[in-house]
Amino acid sequence: MNNQAKFLHKAIQFLHKAAGIINKTKQPKTPFISNAPFEFETVTVNERGKIIKRTAHQANQEILHLNGVTIEMVYVPGGTFLMGSPKTEKDRRFWLESPQHPVTVAPFYMGKYPITQSQWQAVMGNNPPIEWIYYDDAITFCEKLSKIMGKSYRLPSEAQWEYACRAGTTTPFYFGETMTTNLANYRGTDTQWGGSGSYRSEPKGVYREQTTKVGRFPPNAFGLYDMHGNVWEWCADPWHGKYKGAPTDGSVWETGGDSNLRVLRGGAWDLVPRSVRSASRDRLSHDTRRKTVGFRLSKLTDTIPKKG
C-alpha cells in the first residue's frame, strides 16, 4: 500500500469514527424518573403585606429526565378541604365560587411549576410560546409524555388544583389575607375600569406586563410555585357556572356543564389581586389561545413516599 492509499485508508477510518461519535451523541438518552426530597421556605403576611412568619418545609418529588430537561412533580398528600370561597371573603364572585363545599382529595403529584418552553420542546419537539397553549395542545402534551414515561400524566381536576393551591390555608391567598408583587406576578397597579392593585391594606405594587421565570417567588406549603398569577392554568373540567352538584371526591366533573369551555385557575400577570385568589376561576374555549394561559401537570399515585 503506497503512502497515498495509506492516507486515504486512515482518513476513511477517521471519518467512520467521527460519524459514530456524532450519531452516538445525537441519540437521546432513555427517559427515567428519580426521586428526591427538597427543602423550601414559605412566608405568611399580614393585611399590610408585611411578612410576619417564615416556615421551613420539606416535600417529596419525582423528577422526570428527558434529553437533559427535567420536569419536577411534587407529592401532594391527600386530605379534605372546603372548595370555593366563604361568604365573608372580600371581592368573591359568589355566583362562580358557591356553594362552598367539602371535597376529599386522594394523594397525587402536581407539577412544581407550570410547563416551560424547554419542557414543551423536550416532549413535543417544537418550541411555541408556552403561554399561548390551547386546551387541546395541553391534552396532547400529557398524552405524549405519558407514552414516553410509561405513566399517566394529565391536567389536574379543578378540585385538585384548588386543593393544591390552598395547601391547607383557608385565606384568599396561600400567603395569607393578602399578598404583594414581591410574592407573585400580578397587576399591582389600579386599572382604568376600577380594579384595585391592592387587596387589603398593603401598598400597591408593580405591573410587569409579562410572564416571569418560574420559581421566582415563594412557594406554598406543598412546595408548589406560581399558583397565584403569572399564567392562567388549564384544568381538565368542563365549565360549570356554580358548584351545585359538584363531585366531592376531587375527580373531574365530567357530567353537565359546557364541554366546549374548560376551567382556568390561578389568574395571570395582567390581573389585579382579587382575580388571582385561591378560589378565583374562569373559563375559555378549548380551541382558543391567549397569551396569559399555560398549564401544569398532575399524576395520581397509589404509594406514599417514605419520609426522609
Asked whether residue 99 falls in the same domain as residue 7, the answer is no
Structurally, how many domains does the chain consist of?
A: 2
> Is the pTM of the predicted complex or chain greater than 0.85?
yes
Q: Are residues 10 and 46 in the same domain?
A: no
Beta-bridge partner residues of 262: 238, 284
Mean predicted lDDT score pLDDT of the chain: 91
Average pLDDT over every residue of 20-29: 49
What is the domain range of residue 15? 1-27
Q: pLDDT digits over 55-78, tens only? A: 999 999 999 999 899 999 999 999
Give domain status of residue 47, yes or no.
yes
CB atoms within 10 A of CB 52: 10
Residue 302 scores a pLDDT above 90 = no
- Lowest mean pLDDT across 13-17, 117-121, 145-149, 218-222: 13-17
Question: Grid coordinates 401532594 are at which residue?
Answer: 76
6 and 119 fall within a common domain: no
DSSP characters over the chain:
--HHHHHHHHHHHHHHHHHHHHHHHHSPPPPEEEEEEEEEEEEEE-TTS-EEEEEEEEEEEEEEEETTEEEEEEEE--EEEEES--TTSTT--TTTS-S-EEEEE--EEEESSPPPHHHHHHHHSS---TTB--HHHHHHHHHHHHHHHTS--BPPPHHHHHHHHHTT--SSBTTBS---TTTSBS--S--TTS--S-SSSSPP-----S---TT-S---TTS----SBSSEEEEEEEE-SS-TT--SSS----SSSEEEEEEEES--TTS-GGGGSTT-EEEEETT---TTEE---EEE-SSPPPP-
Residue 75 phi, psi dihedral angles, 5° rounding? -75, 125
pLDDT surpasses 50 at 27: no
**Rounded CA separation 281/8 (Å):** 70
Q: What is the mean pLDDT of residues 141-170?
A: 98
Cell 365573608 maps to which residue?
88
Is the per-residue pLDDT at 129 higher than 60? no
User: Which of 15, 31, 78 lies closest to 250, judged by CA?
Assistant: 78
Kindly state whether residue 191 falls inside one of the protein's structural domains: yes
Q: Are 139 and 20 found together in one domain?
A: no
The answer to whether position 169 is within a domain reads yes
Please check whether residues 128 and 13 belong to one and the same domain: no
Residues 164, 15 within the same domain: no
Give the gyration radius of the chain's Cα atoms: 23
Reported as a single tens digit per residue, the pLDDT across 248-290 is: 999 999 999 999 999 999 999 999 999 999 999 999 999 998 9
**What average pLDDT does the segment 111-127 reach?**
92
Q: Has residue 13 got a pLDDT over 60?
A: no
> 183-216, pLDDT tens digit by residue?
999 999 999 988 999 999 999 999 999 999 999 9
Q: Does residue 90 fall inside a structural domain? A: yes
20 and 118 housed in the same domain = no
pLDDT digits (tens, 9 = 90+) for 35-57: 999 999 999 999 999 999 999 99
From the CB of residue 124, how many other CB atoms can be counted at a distance below 10 Å? 14
Find the mean pLDDT for residues 27-36: 84
Q: Is residue 236 part of a domain?
A: yes
Checking if the pLDDT of 25 tops 50, the result is: no
Same domain, 129 and 23: no
Per the domain annotation, does 135 fall within a domain? Answer: yes
112 has pLDDT over 90? yes
Q: Are residues 14 and 128 in the same domain?
A: no
Q: Are residues 168 and 189 in the same domain?
A: yes
Q: Which three cell numbers stand for residue 30?
A: 432513555
Instruction: Over range 175-186, report the average pLDDT.
Output: 98
Give the whole-angstrom CA distance, residue 206 versus residue 202. Answer: 13
- In this structure, is residue 66 part of a structural domain? no
- Is residue 89 within 8 Å of residue 170, measured between CB atoms? no
Asked if residue 293 and residue 215 are part of one domain, the reply reads: yes
| pLDDT(128) > 60 | yes
The Cα 178–Cα 190 span in angstroms is 16
User: What is the CATH classification number for the domain harbouring 274?
Assistant: 3.90.1580.10
- Please state, in angstroms and rounded to a whole number, the distance separating the CA atoms of residues 216 and 211: 11
Decide if 203 is inside a domain: yes
Same domain, 48 and 17: no
Q: What is the pLDDT of residues 219-256, one digit of tens each?
A: 999 999 999 999 999 999 999 999 999 999 999 999 99
Quick one: average pLDDT of 278-304?
Answer: 92
